[in-house]
Structures are given as structure tokens and as C-alpha cells.
Amino acid sequence: MPDGSAVRSWPLAAGAPRRWTVRVLEPDPRSVNVEAFESLDDRALVAECLGGKPAAFDVIVARHRRAIYQVCHRFAGNHEDASDLSQETFIRAWRGLRNFKGDAALSTWLYRIAVNACLNRVGTRKPETEPIGTDRFVDNRTESPSDGLLREERAVAVRRAIAALPNRQRAALILRAYHDLSHQEIADILGSSVGAVKANFFHALANLKKILGSEP
């Protein structure tokens, strides 16, 4: 069946015309209407997934995909890798759903998976940055073309500087500066202490200052 439903057919009782069969469409648990889960909170969605209703995972993905994509993009520096890493994050989350204890928010747990995936991937090669002109949503109607070019060049320099930071410093900076996570949440994600997170954040800013200060 194209909709994934199971069909069960059997002839009617004696007396009914023989050519008739009763067809009962049994909904496939995988094709349950996603809307039924949208009102549930994250913990309830996880419980539904573990109870054999993977459609609940669609809601989890829809709820967190933007944040996960953005954190992946901050690490990877380009759309293709960010897209792959986001997908990998959710698939890893699905596989490890039983390991989610609910001590922290699901978003924190997903961030942890995403950061690990990013550090594994990005750590093995030089991070790329998108070419100039990808900041499509910056309001530049009042700036001159030369100012715009300078701003974009500076943005590329800042991206490159962030990409050059050591992994822990970069992770602390990204999670704190762009995702507004608390030091405690970042510590949970990185598996370190609040003090270490603060130190990494401080050194990330100090290193950025040093790198950008040496830019022409």
C-alpha cells in the first residue's frame, strides 16, 4: 500500500454475495498522524518513540532542527556539511534514545550529540567557510558598496578566526555567544566543569582578539 497501511481481507458471512470482500485498513504505526504528538512536551515525545511510535520523532526533529542546523553550521562553516551533520545528529539521537535519561533538557542532549558529531567531523579536516555574500539577511540598504564589501571581508575574517580556535574554546564560544546557553548547560554538553567553560570562553575571546588584531 502506498500509504504504508496494512490490508486485511476476508469474505463476508454466508449469504453475502461472493464477490464482496471486506477490506480493513490498519494504520501502520510509522504513519501515525504527526499532529497527534504536537501538543506533547519533549519527554513525552521520547516516551512515545520508545513505545514504538517513531512518528513522534518527526515532531522532535521539527522542533529542534533549526537550532541543531545552526550549531552545525557554526562548526562546519557551510550548508552541505551542516545539513549532513544535522541529519547525523538526529539519527544518532534516534539510536541512542534509550540513553536519554531526562536529567537535562532534550535540547541539551541533542546539542551534545551535535557538538560531538561536529568535532569528530570538523576535527579531521580544515573547516571551510562560505564565500562572501552568503549573509542574505543583513540589512545593507543604507551602506555603500565599498562598506558592504569591507563588512563582508571582516565577517569572513571573523569566521576564519573562530574556525581556527581550539575545539573546546570554539564550542564554548559558539554555544554561549550564539545559542545563549548557560555555562552549566555548556558544561553538561562538553562534559566539563563550569569553571572550565568560563575559562574556555574567556580564552576564545582573547584569541579572537589576538587573531583579528593581526588581520590587515
| Interface with another protein (CB under 8 A), residue from 95, 120, 147, 191 | 95
Which span sits near another protein by CB under 8 A: 81-89, 103-111, 139-147, 185-193? 81-89
Tell me which residue has cell 545528529.
89
Phi, psi of 155 (to 5 degrees): -60, -40
List the x/- string, 130-149, binding to another protein by CB under 8 A: x---xxxxx-----------
| Interface with another protein (CB under 8 A), residue from 91, 105, 149, 150 | 91
Residue 153 touches another protein, criterion: CB under 8 A? no
23-52 residues near another protein, rule: CB under 8 A = 30, 49-52
For residue 181, give the nearest of 192, 173, 169 by alpha carbon: 173
- Which residues neighbour 154 within 8 Å (Cβ) at sequence distance 6 or greater? none
For residue 121, give the nearest of 88, 91, 95 by alpha carbon: 88
| Of residues 119 and 212, the one with the C-beta less far from another protein | 212
Buried b (16+ CB within 10 A) or exposed e, 117-152: bbbebbeeeebebbeeeeeeeeeeeeeeeeeeeeeb
Which span sits near another protein by CB under 8 A: 18-26, 93-101, 117-125, 185-193? 93-101
For residue 174, give the nearest of 108, 75, 66, 65 by alpha carbon: 75
| Of residues 17 and 131, the one with the C-beta less far from another protein | 131
| Of residues 9 and 197, the one with the C-beta less far from another protein | 197
At residue 186's C-alpha, the angle toward residues 184 and 189, to 5°, is: 115
CA dist., res. 135 & res. 79, Å (int): 12
Which span sits near another protein by CB under 8 A: 17-25, 35-43, 101-109, 199-207? 199-207
CB atoms within 10 A of CB 168: 18
What residue ranges bind another protein (CB under 8 A)? 30, 49-52, 54, 57-58, 61-62, 65-66, 69-70, 73-74, 79, 82-83, 86-87, 90-91, 94-98, 130, 134-138, 154-155, 158-159, 162, 173, 177-178, 195, 198-199, 201-203, 205-206, 208-209, 212
